[in-house]
Amino acid sequence: MAARNVLFIMCDQLRWDHLGCAGHPHLRTPNLDRLAARGVRFDHAYVQSGICGPSRMSFYTGRYVASHGATHNRVPLSVGEVTLGWHLRESGRTLALAGKTHMLPDSHGMKRLLLDGQDELAVLLREGWFTLLDRHDGHHAETQSAYAHWLRAQGYDSADPWTDYVIAATDTDGSIRNGWKMRHARLPARVREEHSETAYTTDQALRFIEAQGDTPWVLHLSYVKPHWPYIAPAPYHAMYGPEHALPVRRHAVERGSNAHPVLREFQEEEVAQSFQNDACIEAVRPTYMGLITQVDDHLGRVWDLLERMGRWEDTLVVFTSDHGDYLGDHWLGEKELFHDCVQRVPMIMYDPSPDADATRGTVEPRFVEAIDLVPTFLDALGLPEAPHVLEGRSLLGLTRGTATAWREAAISELDITFRAARRRLGLPTGQHRGFMLRTAEWKYIHWTSGLAPQLYDLRADPDEFFDLGTDPAHEATRVAMRERLLDWATNLKCRTTLTWAEAEFRTDRHKAAGVFYGEW
């Protein structure tokens, strides 16, 4: 049977290599491993920017960052851009949300268009065309959110139960510790596991799916974890130890005098300084792993409900993440730059069609991108695919083995304007952008603002330690990479106001339209 429903699951800040099925030797993710066994695991899935806001806007618009323009966190998505929710709505469908989107409304644009009211349209625009079950973006203390109210109803007596319980920890002597401080990462959260963000968001999703019965639905189940604050409820806080963590990938050369100036300045940011302390890495990594197993456990509840309702027959299920996490690799914390531990994400897709039976349980090595999901969902549901605006490609061609030519590189972008690092680099306010082109053999990074490029030979240097960006021996490779970036940039889809059918209809029509060229 073709898909009638879509379950689009996202984690926040989950590295590609932190899954059992991706080869992590100690991390337990049995439910995600089951999903991979039922579907296809895309082993080279890349986001379009290594930070929440722009990455998610690419997931939701199906467009590169250069096209949608929301280049960093807290940069609003233009009112002129459309998202999955709009594409579904055009076909009479609805996109439900449980959890995080990081969507920020275009207040200037909405004001200009007199759309800054409180009507349904204004609400949809503010939410990027998601219909909320409950939006919970995490890491913002919200005292009046539905989650805060619910926690108080469960007995957490606080004006701000998120700060006081969810991300606060109980020390061994019973004292309360601040979860923003990573030195407390090994302590258990004060919130009970069944009241944690992961449990709460899962509950929303389960209630929604159950309530739909046999009515078709599209749901974005969007967890805020394992994103910091790195505080896990018991028993997940103590499930893993430093001995279970992946080895830290960093090299003295990355801190040397020849390090790229952007890398160097990001290493000077406070969070990177923290992760240059081994004690920080040893505290955070086990808890990060625990938070992942917690998500996996709750996904088991989702799988069970799908089973009970027969929804595996008609539901396309995708699991992915908006970006990874340095966790101390490359002398960095957090995310943003172009190393694989940030840009490469888990992506597992279960396609219910019998046409996908041949690929079940396989690992797909070709490059897929975040922007591929919107076209995939529209394709799976049999809805118009909007190639005049969408820049990704339906992945059904891979799950069903029908794709012939496929892309041979992934692209990601970054705007460093909003970082103190930008000021330290002496760059004025403006746009200061990086562009990654990642092939099987090379990673090339083009920077604007007069900054030197970066180049990594991934065959010889899979850990991306040795920057060949100014090595004279590799000029030909850099030129070739820039040529590919130019091809990419000149093929971005800027003409979004006409469908391709309209464009075809209008081709060679100037006479039919009553506009003539002079004739002899």
The footprint of a second copy on residues 228-287 (CB under 8 A) is 228-230, 270-271, 273-274, 277, 279-280, 284
Q: Judged by CB under 8 A, does residue 498 bind a second copy? A: yes
Binds a second copy by CB under 8 A, chosen from 1, 460, 473, 513:
513
**Ramachandran angles phi, psi of 387, nearest 5°:** -70, -10
Burial class (CB in 10 A: 0-12, 13-18, 19+), 496: middle
- Here's the x/- map for a second copy, 92-111, by CB under 8 A: it reads as --------------x-xx--
Binds a second copy by CB under 8 A, chosen from 1, 460, 490, 512:
490
**At closest approach, how far in Å is the CB of 363 from a second copy?**
32
Q: How many CB atoms lie within 10 A of CB 50?
A: 29
The label of the residue with tokens 């705007």 reads 415
Q: Which of residues 188-227 bind a second copy (CB under 8 A)?
A: none
Q: What is the CA radius of gyration of the chain?
A: 23
Binds a second copy by CB under 8 A, chosen from 70, 189, 317, 374:
70
Q: Which of residues 110-129 bind a second copy (CB under 8 A)?
A: 112-115, 121, 125
- Residue closer to a second copy by CB (options 154, 496) is 496
Q: Which of residues 314-343 bind a second copy (CB under 8 A)?
A: 333-334
**At closest approach, how far in Å is the CB of 509 from a second copy?**
8
Among candidate residues 461, 455, 463, the one with its CA nearest the CA of residue 480: 455
Binds a second copy by CB under 8 A, chosen from 194, 304, 313, 483:
483
Binds a second copy by CB under 8 A, chosen from 66, 123, 238, 248:
66
Dihedral (Cα; 363, 302, 191, 50), 10-degree rounding = 40
The label of the residue with tokens 């430093």 reads 242
| Three-class SS state of 395 | coil
- Residue closer to a second copy by CB (options 64, 377) is 64
Q: Judged by CB under 8 A, does residue 177 bind a second copy? A: no
* Residues 38, 34: Cα–Cα separation, whole Å: 6
Among candidate residues 274, 269, 277, the one with its CA nearest the CA of residue 336: 269
Q: Which of residues 150-169 bind a second copy (CB under 8 A)?
A: none
Q: Which of residues 443-472 bind a second copy (CB under 8 A)?
A: 446, 448
Among candidate residues 197, 198, 289, the one with its CA nearest the CA of residue 244: 289
Q: How many CB atoms lie within 10 A of CB 148?
A: 21
DSSP state string for 443-457: EEEEESTTPPPEEEE
Instruction: Say which residues have a Cβ less than 8 Å from residue 486's Cβ, sequence separation at least 6.
Output: none
Q: Which of residues 344-383 bind a second copy (CB under 8 A)?
A: none
Stretch that binds a second copy, among 16-24, 68-76, 216-224, 368-376 (CB under 8 A): 68-76
Q: Which of residues 388-427 bind a second copy (CB under 8 A)?
A: 415, 417-420, 422-423
Binds a second copy by CB under 8 A, chosen from 33, 37, 134, 139:
139
- Enumerate the β-bridge partners of residue 318: 8, 349
**At closest approach, how far in Å is the CB of 310 from a second copy?**
35
* Residues 1, 215: Cα–Cα separation, whole Å: 15
- Residue closer to a second copy by CB (options 271, 363) is 271
**At closest approach, how far in Å is the CB of 79 from a second copy?**
6
**211 torsion bin: left (phi>0), alpha (psi -120 to 50), beta (else):** alpha
Q: Judged by CB under 8 A, does residue 308 bind a second copy? A: no
